[in-house]
Amino acid sequence: MIALINQIYEIKRKSTEHKFDVVTRNLDRIFHELTEMGYRVEVPLHETYSETNTAIEASLLYEQAKTIVKVLKPIIYKKEGDSYSLQQKGIVIVG
């Protein structure tokens, strides 16, 4: 399921980059269905990077970089009981 979520995210990212909005609504519906299945997908694009965030693996473009400029893989959580457990760390580029 994680591999499927990653592929769906990649399609959404590329369609947004290329302004191919025709599929955006359908992809949003797929992400809604994933939420209904207990998954939470977070895309921390443009957020401030913190070394203490254990849900992210980052490549820094330069030493003082602070803002997430690209998300290669989203953070994925799965609902287990009343809480969420981390299923995949986000892989990001910080610039």
Residue ranges per domain, the chain? Answer: 2-94
Predicted confidence at residue 51, as pLDDT, reads 94
Burial string for 25-34 (b: 16+ CB within 10 Å, else e) reads eebeebbeeb
Q: Tell me phi and psi for residue 38, to 5 degrees.
A: 100, 10
pTM: 0.92
Predicted confidence at residue 21, as pLDDT, reads 82
Burial string for 43-82 (b: 16+ CB within 10 Å, else e) reads bbeebebeeebeebebeeeeeeeeebeebebbbbbbeeee
One pLDDT digit (tens) per residue for the chain, 95 residues: 999 999 999 999 999 888 888 898 899 999 999 999 999 999 999 999 999 999 999 999 999 999 999 999 999 999 999 999 999 999 999 99
